[in-house]
């Protein structure tokens, strides 16, 4: 089978993915989800003119000529706390104590902050203004943030904590969003065990499933642990059927290569519309994709780094598209190699695990994070980027390379 360019493999998978349906949920549960409704301001924000500073509400004209040397004295006519309103209009020659956020009383048109005033104590009936203020000073008009009827947010927005704060400000308690997909993860292989018990002959600990469950959660999806499966065709078939009935998408790890015990590949062909690919990248060359019971299923390779890289390059963007995202790729940057990273021509793009940092001159630089074998998870654990080294002999120190940022 000829090698498939990564871009073609991505297009083959991503073109079949559609967003999930929508659901209405409490706003506090909506962070990271995609908005599915228009949000319009139902009232002015703020709803009334208020002060942005602790001080005294005044008529600006009453402070004319005030200075430290020649303060202007005004009669204190009351106090307005946040959440309260003045019991009468402000008259000429008067001032009212006012706390941040409190409504500006009728008759006032400015606030002089407390630092520019002096009194003879909390029970004083006169305030001395030590500066002249202009009309509008420290006054936040009604609708200063938003006016009623403003079309604020459109469908497709990825909701952040600031958006949730805005929903609350607008009085929204619920919001319509694209549903968060449930993604089932299981791993296969007789050689796998979990837990701290000593390894037997030929055994290794299952790292793929915990890693993939964490990657799914990090992407904002709902991970569902479907456990470990032995290399038993009947058991794997039943697990695929049961898993597809429970979740919106499936991730399998292992069983998609060329070996006699790679049952996942065989069963996926039997159960659904599947495509087995040999992608022109290293690691993560073997990859399977299709549907089982109408649910997308991603057959990832068994080596732990290969599993993670194929998730990053193909599965993660597809799953984010299911969640309604349009910008599904992690951020990538151009960075300078800090050391030679040599390789041999093999028709593949090599995704080298690297550490990226900003050098003293401000230019991003990177170097190898450690072992680059598809089984060497320590290098991936120390990496914060994947450097796309093109086919050929590699790169030299100072060469400019595209790096996908993992954090």
pLDDT at 262 (0 to 100):
58
Nearest to 205 by CA among 216, 218, 189: 189
Nearest to 134 by CA among 116, 112, 104: 112
> pLDDT higher for 302 or 48?
48
Same-domain status, 252 and 393: no
Same-domain status, 212 and 290: yes
Report the percent of the chain where pLDDT is more than 90: 79
Report the percent of the chain where pLDDT is more than 70: 97
pLDDT at 265 (0 to 100):
67
Same-domain status, 277 and 379: no
Distances (CA, A) of 94 to 56, 65, 202: 10, 16, 88
Nearest to 310 by CA among 290, 296, 302, 348: 302
The most confident of the ranges 86-95, 228-237, 248-257, 368-377 is 86-95
Same-domain status, 249 and 158: no
| pLDDT tens per residue, range 132-159 | 999 999 999 999 999 999 999 999 999 9
Backbone Cα Rg of the chain:
31
pLDDT at 34 over 60: yes
Instruction: Let me know: does 271 contact 260? Beta carbons within 8 Å.
Output: no
d(CA 152, CA 120): 47
Same-domain status, 310 and 377: no
199 inside domain: yes
Task: Give the number of domains in the chain.
Answer: 4
Query: Looking at 10-14, 134-138, 267-271, 291-295, which range is the least confident one?
Result: 267-271
CATH number of the domain enclosing 28 = 3.90.105.10
pLDDT at 195 (0 to 100):
81
pLDDT at 187 (0 to 100):
84
Determine the average pLDDT of the residues in 82-90.
96
CATH number of the domain enclosing 366 = 2.40.340.10
3-state DSSP assignment of residue 160:
coil
d(CA 338, CA 317): 29
Same-domain status, 313 and 191: yes
d(CA 238, CA 303): 24
pLDDT at 241 over 90: no
Strands 192-193 and 204-205: parallel
Burial degree of 358 (CB within 10 A; 0-12, 13-18, 19+): exposed
> pLDDT higher for 236 or 214?
214
| pLDDT tens per residue, range 298-347 | 989 888 999 999 999 999 999 999 999 999 999 999 999 999 999 999 99
- DSSP string over 163-213: HHHHHHHTT-SEEEEEPPPEEEEEEE-TTEE-SSSPP-TT-EE--HHHHHH
| pLDDT tens per residue, range 175-220 | 999 999 999 998 887 788 788 888 888 888 888 999 999 999 999 9
**What rounded mean pLDDT belongs to the chain?**
93
Same-domain status, 55 and 31: no
327 inside domain: no
Same-domain status, 56 and 134: yes
Same-domain status, 194 and 317: yes
367 inside domain: yes
Same-domain status, 281 and 307: yes
pLDDT at 256 over 70: no
pLDDT band at 263 (very low <50, low <70, confident <90, very high): low
pLDDT at 260 over 60: no
CATH number of the domain enclosing 105 = 2.170.190.11
pLDDT at 404 (0 to 100):
98
Determine the average pLDDT of the residues in 161-183.
97
> pLDDT higher for 188 or 39?
39
Query: Looking at 12-21, 26-35, 231-240, which range is the least confident one?
Result: 231-240
Of 274, 304, 322, at which residue does a domain stop?
A: 322
pLDDT at 253 (0 to 100):
85
pLDDT at 108 over 90: yes
Please tell me the pTM assigned to this model.
Answer: 0.87
pLDDT at 1 (0 to 100):
62
pLDDT at 261 over 50: no
Same-domain status, 207 and 301: yes
Range of the domain at 71: 50-140
Per the structure block, which two tokens stand in for 97? 């104590």
1 inside domain: no
Query: At a CB cut-off of 8 Å and minimum separation 6, what does 144 contact?
Result: 45, 46
75 inside domain: yes
Same-domain status, 148 and 216: no
Distances (CA, A) of 323 to 22, 32, 241, 326, 391: 10, 10, 23, 9, 34
């Amino acid at each position: 089978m000829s090698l498939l360019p990564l871009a073609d493999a991505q297009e083959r998978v991503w073109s079949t993915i559609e967003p999930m349906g929508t659901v209405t949920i409490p706003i506090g549960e909506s962070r990271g989800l995609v908005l599915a409704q228009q949000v319009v301001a139902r009232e002015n924000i703020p709803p009334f003119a208020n002060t942005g500073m602790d001080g005294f509400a005044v008529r600006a004209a009453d402070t004319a000529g005030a200075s430290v040397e020649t303060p202007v004295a005004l009669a204190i006519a009351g106090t307005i706390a946040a959440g309260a309103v003045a019991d009468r209009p402000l008259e000429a020659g008067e001032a009212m104590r006012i706390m941040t956020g409190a409504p500006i009383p009728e008759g006032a048109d400015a606030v002089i902050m407390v630092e520019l005033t002096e009194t003879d104590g909390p029970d004083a009936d006169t305030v001395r203004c030590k500066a002249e203020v202009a009309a509008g000073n420290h006054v936040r008009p009604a609708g200063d943030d938003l006016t009623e009827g403003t079309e604020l947010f459109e469908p497709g927005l990825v909701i952040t904590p600031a958006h949730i704060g805005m929903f609350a400000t607008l009085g929204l308690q619920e919001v319509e969003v694209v549903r968060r997909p449930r993604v089932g993860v299981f791993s296969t292989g007789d050689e796998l065990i979990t837990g701290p018990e000593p390894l037997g002959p030929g055994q290794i600990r299952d790292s793929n499933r915990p890693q993939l469950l964490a990657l799914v959660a990090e992407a904002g999806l709902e991970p569902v642990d479907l456990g470990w499966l032995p290399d038993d065709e009947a058991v794997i078939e039943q697990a695929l059927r049961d898993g597809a009935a429970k979740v919106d998408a499936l991730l399998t790890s292992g069983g998609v290569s060329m070996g006699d015990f790679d049952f996942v590949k065989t069963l996926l062909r039997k159960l659904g519309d599947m495509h087995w690919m040999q992608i022109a990248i290293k690691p993560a060359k073997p990859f399977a994709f299709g549907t089982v019971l109408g649910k997308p299923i991603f057959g990832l390779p068994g080596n732990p780094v290969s599993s993670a890289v194929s998730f990053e390059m193909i599965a993660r963007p597809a799953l984010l598209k299911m969640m309604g995202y349009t910008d599904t790729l992690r951020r990538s940057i151009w960075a300078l190699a800090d050391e030679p990273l040599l390789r041999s021509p093999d028709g593949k793009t090599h995704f080298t695990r690297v550490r990226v940092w900003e050098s003293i001159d401000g230019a991003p630089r990177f170097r190898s994070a450690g072992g680059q074998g598809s089984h060497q998870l320590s290098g991936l654990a120390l990496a914060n980027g994947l450097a796309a080294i093109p086919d050929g002999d590699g790169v030299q120190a100072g060469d400019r390379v595209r790096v996908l940022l993992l954090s």
